[in-house]
A and B are shown apart, each in its own frame.
Chain A
């Protein structure tokens, strides 16, 4: 795979309507690594930013867990960041810590990793494009995101500290009445800016998928990963603006003295309405939940099929299920507001729509199980993470039913049960899927394999303890422990949950400990991992069959022509004619068994690169 762009410049790209322009790779350091318009570089930029902030958010979580296990005692190691209070988490610190844990994890860890990294890396490579539709906008999206990171980091160093109104930033707590100080304003501004970055990314992903698919890459020949990311982008583009509107109004309330969200503060003229903020927030907030899980679902559809060596069961059904969830996610937000004095009739309607979502979710779930059923399962690290994701998502999904139902939600609302539930879906499922994806695409991104042994240690430690942590939280919540309590054991009725909380905290610390194998593995593999072949997993999607590891700047020397779907495994014709259990998406079946040619595969004559 030493052939380069100029090698095929004689192809007459202008004659093929699908052929895309080949831009020469940048040579200066600045354009190569900083302001790069290459989707693969931008994916890695999002990855680094996301992983650093994932660790940051994780350490904040450890401080919360410490506080719940040993309230008011000196925090070991991390205490150095709490110098002013002598290493102890004070109530004010505590507010900021859980607020920033939530915001950082959602907007600055999961979003860049799941959407920024996988979206950028996978979409062009999997659909057979040379880059995104708008490479400049793509770079702009990343650097806008960096601006929001700067705002977030700055907010920690201003007077009165960073935001403290909870990740939901509910008014009036988030107005000057509840959280005076610049920190909260900076964080709200950061959310607006990061939202703008997400919208830029979303526009790019949607357009790229519509316009730049390789010839033959029909909608139902796209890998599940691309479907998941595409639907997520649609939700992003439609609903992040609503959060943007809420953020603008909140910033105006905080800085210009307008009164959108402060009740009754305006005397005779009447003030704003805090409930308006909740409406705006959840109109965005509920789709956001699916924004964070749809790419994971898409990745699962692919990984489960790839490593069961079977076609994805009822693939179209999985895609339609994801579309159905995308549509339904827009009309269920009211279940977050059952206790706000909502009209009972409206509450019931929201409950109905919410519970209906479990139908398409169930279709997806059963399709995954059916795909695994009787497959020749290869328990590689990515597959283990995929199975782990299915497990924790199942738990999260089932416990969601209690919260979507009005009668049970009235009791469970604002308890640790809610916290455990949404962590199982948004945190556990999203992160296990992210790790699965990293283990899977790492060879393609960096040209080196990750260590399977460390990967498996990381997997078992993570899946066991992440389940225990969040199930522990749900138990505490079911027993009545409210969420966000600084010292829960001040309340007599929670006192007996002390040992449960202690154990949950221990599990959380173990969970953090088991991330060490990942960090070791990541850097070890990056520097000295085994060199990856072009297609180490023997799968048929374009990034593995037609791009080298790592891909060249323009991805494909010739844009491949796609003949079939992404999940062609255990195909008898392939077995007979090619002597292997899979067919590439752009691989033509020879009319006669192809015995002599080493490496097999007629399509490679077109593609050029050697497969293994």
Chain B
């Protein structure tokens, strides 16, 4: 009995010291790490933008400055709901692909694309309304912050939308499947990141 145990222990230490992972799984892990490092880096960029906003705000006696139109709340709140929904939908899409249901997965990715586009449309409506009320980028700090942050975020949404369209097509064509879907995973993380940035933006720019 004792001998058996020690033999087993020996097998563990002498044999599979490194647990076996398929080359694909290893490469996926590497890509995942790269994406996490990239988003960490990009988070600092957004943090620096938020820092700039809060710095300016802290040095201004009244915020929003006297005479500036108030930013709307309803549409951005609705948009927040949309962006949360897209994140959930994309995640479900990823799960579906993992469960070998490519058709469902592709459709969910396309749905994410559609909702993401809706987000951009609503955001454009907000921009146009504010523009009409005189809040143009040249109208001082308040406008500067509003446009710089929302524009920069919107650029990231556009990048994500282009990727989503490609992902949906590739999923339908079977280029992504249960065994091979690293690309979907990485873009899902990216999309969640863009969503979290929006939540912070809604909180800091629109709400408080």
B44 partner, pick from A134, A215, A242, A273, beta carbons under 8 A? A242
Task: Report whether B138 and A268 are in contact in the complex, using a CB–CB cutoff of 8 Å.
Answer: no
Known: A17-B26, A248-B152. A133 touches B138 (CB 8 A): no
| Interface pair B52/A249, CB less than 8 Å apart | yes
In the bound complex, CA of A237 to CA of B45 (Å)? 10
A259 touches B141 (CB 8 A): yes
Given known pairs A242-B48, A249-B52, A260-B56, the reply for A269 and B30 (CB within 8 Å) is no
- Quote the shortest CB–CB distance from A141 to chain B (angstroms): 12
Whether the pair A273, B59 counts as a contact (CB closer than 8 A) is yes
| CB atoms of B138 and A258 under 8 A apart | yes
> Is B68 interfacial (CB 8 A cutoff)?
yes
Residues of chain B within 8 A (CB-CB) of A239 are 44
Q: Is the CB of B148 within 8 A of A238?
A: no
Selecting from A119-127, A159-167, A206-214, A392-400, the interface stretch reads: A206-214
CA distance A93 to B26 in the complex (A): 54
Check if A269 sits within 8 Å of B34, measured CB to CB. Answer: no
Contact between chains at A14 and B144 (CB < 8 Å): no
**B139 interfacial by beta-carbon distance below 8 Å:** yes
Q: Are A259 and B140 in touch, CB under 8 angstroms? A: yes
Chain A residues with CB under 8 Å of B38's CB are: 199, 203
Let me know if B56 and A269 touch, CB within 8 A.
Answer: no
CA distance A134 to B66 in the complex (A): 51
> Is residue B202 within 8 Å, beta carbon to beta carbon, of the partner chain?
no
* Chain B positions within 8 Å of A80 at CB level: none
State the CA gap A211–B38 with chains docked (Å): 16
Given contacts A245-B52, A272-B141, A276-B52, contact A256 B44 (CB under 8 A): no
- Report if B133 contacts A (CB, 8 A): no
B136 to chain A: closest residue by CB: A257
Which residues of A from 225 to 246 have beta carbons under 8 Å from B?
Answer: 237-242, 244-246
Closest to A16 in B: B18
| Chain B residues whose C-beta falls within 8 Å of the C-beta of A134 in the assembled complex | 30-31, 34
Which of A137, A238, A241 gathers most chain B CB within 10 Å? A241
The reply to whether A272 and B44 contact each other, CB–CB distance below 8 Å, is no
For residue B81, CB closer than 8 A to chain A, the reply is: no
The answer to whether A269 and B45 touch (CB under 8 A), given A133-B30, A204-B34, is no
CA A238 to CA B44, docked complex, whole Å = 6
Number of interface residues of A (CB under 8 A): 47
**B45 and A211: CB pair below 8 A?**
no
- State in angstroms the CA–CA spacing of A273 and B144 once bound together: 12
Asked if A18 is at the interface of the complex by the 8 Å CB criterion, the answer is: yes
Residues A280 and B30 in contact in the complex (CB < 8 Å), given A241-B45, A269-B66, A270-B60: no
Question: Which applies to chain A's interface (DSSP): helix, strand, loop or mixed?
Answer: helix
- In the bound complex, CA of A477 to CA of B101 (Å): 71
- For A133, give its contact among B34, B55, B141 (CB under 8 Å): B34
Task: Please determine whether B66 and A241 come into contact, CB atoms closer than 8 angstroms.
Answer: no
Q: How far is the CA of A246 from the CA of B47 in the complex (A)?
A: 12
Distance (whole angstroms) from the CB of B185 to the closest CB of chain A: 16
Please give, as numbers and ranges, the residues of chain B lying within 8 Å of A246 by CB-CB distance: 48
Decide if A252 is an interface residue (CB 8 Å cutoff). yes
Task: Say yes or no: A237 contacts B37, CB within 8 Å.
Answer: yes
User: CB within 8 Å of A: which of B36-66?
Assistant: 37-38, 40-42, 44-45, 48-49, 51-52, 55-56, 59-60, 65-66
- CA–CA, A199 and B20, complex, Å: 32
Contact check, A241 vs B42: say whether CB atoms are below 8 A apart.
Answer: yes
Q: Which of B38, B44, B142 has the most CB of A within 10 A?
A: B44
Q: Which residues of the other chain, B, contact A267 by a CB distance below 8 angstroms? A: 140
What CA separation (Å) do A237 and B35 show in the bound complex? 12
- The residue of chain A having its C-beta at the shortest distance from the C-beta of B144 within the complex is A258
Provided the pairs A237-B40, A269-B141 are in contact, do residues A258 and B55 lie with their beta carbons within 8 angstroms? no
Contact assessment for A256 and B56 in the assembled complex, using a CB-CB cutoff below 8 Å: no
Of listed B21, B38, B147, B152, residue having the most chain A CB within 10 A? B38
State whether B139 touches A269 (Cβ < 8 A): yes
State in angstroms the CA–CA spacing of A137 and B30 once bound together.
13
In the complex the two chains form, is B33's CB within 8 Å of A258's CB? Answer: no
A237 to B36, CA, bound (A): 11
Shortest A455–chain B CB gap in Å is 38
- With a cutoff of 8 Å between Cβ atoms, the chain B residues found around residue A211 in the complex are 26, 29-30, 33
Kindly list chain A residues whose C-beta atoms are within 8 Å of the C-beta of B183: none
- Kindly report which residue of chain A lies nearest to residue B40, judged by CB atoms: A237
Tell me if B23 is interfacial: C-beta within 8 Å of chain A.
Answer: yes
In whole angstroms, how far apart are the Cα atoms of A269 and B144 in the complex? 11
Task: Determine the residue in chain A with the shortest Cβ distance to B59.
Answer: A273
- Complex-state Cα separation, A213 to B71, whole angstroms: 52
| Minimum C-beta distance from B17 to chain A (A) | 10
Residue from B42, B138, B148, B152 within 8 A of A260 (CB atoms) = B148
B33 touches A207 (CB 8 A): yes
A266 touches B141 (CB 8 A): yes
With A271-B141, A273-B59 given, is the CB distance from A17 to B18 under 8 Å? yes
Is B72 interfacial (CB 8 A cutoff)?
no
A21 proximal to B (CB < 8 A): yes
**Among the interface residues B33, B42, B144, which one has the most CB atoms of the partner chain A within 10 A?**
B144
Q: Beyond A203-B37, A207-B33, A210-B33, is A21–B23 a contact (Cβ under 8 Å)?
A: yes
Q: Is A202 an interface residue (CB 8 A)?
A: yes
A256 in contact with B147 given A133-B30, A134-B34 (CB within 8 Å): yes
Complex CA–CA separation, A414 to B140 (angstroms): 32
Interface: B67 (CB within 8 A):
yes
Judge if A498 is at the interface, Cβ distance under 8 Å: no
Q: How far is the CA of A262 from the CA of B37 in the complex (A)?
A: 34
CB within 8 Å of A: which B122-179 residues: 136-144, 147-148, 152
A279 within 8 A of partner (CB):
yes
Instruction: Give bound CA distance, A588 to B97, whole Å.
Output: 47
B34 near A17 with CB under 8 A, answer no
Evaluate contact between A283 and B48: CB separation under 8 angstroms: yes
Q: Which residues of B contact A14 (CB under 8 A)?
A: 23
Interface string of A397-415 (1 = CB under 8 A from B): 0000000000000000000
| With A252-B144, A259-B144 as contacts: A237 and B30 at CB distance below 8 Å | no
Contact A252 B137 (CB under 8 A): yes
What would 16 A/B residue contacts be, using CB atoms closer than 8 Å? A206-B37, A207-B33, A211-B33, A237-B40, A241-B41, A241-B45, A252-B137, A257-B138, A258-B137, A258-B138, A269-B140, A270-B60, A273-B56, A273-B59, A279-B51, A280-B52
List 18 extra interface pairs beyond A21-B23, A258-B147, A266-B140, CB under 8 A. A17-B21, A134-B34, A203-B34, A207-B30, A210-B33, A238-B40, A239-B44, A241-B48, A249-B52, A257-B136, A257-B138, A266-B141, A270-B60, A270-B65, A271-B140, A273-B55, A280-B48, A280-B51
Per CB-CB distance, the 4 closest pairs between chain A and chain B, nearest first, are A269-B140, A245-B48, A241-B45, A258-B144
Chain B positions near chain A (C-beta within 8 angstroms) = 18, 20-21, 23, 26, 29-31, 33-34, 37-38, 40-42, 44-45, 48-49, 51-52, 55-56, 59-60, 65-68, 136-144, 147-148, 152
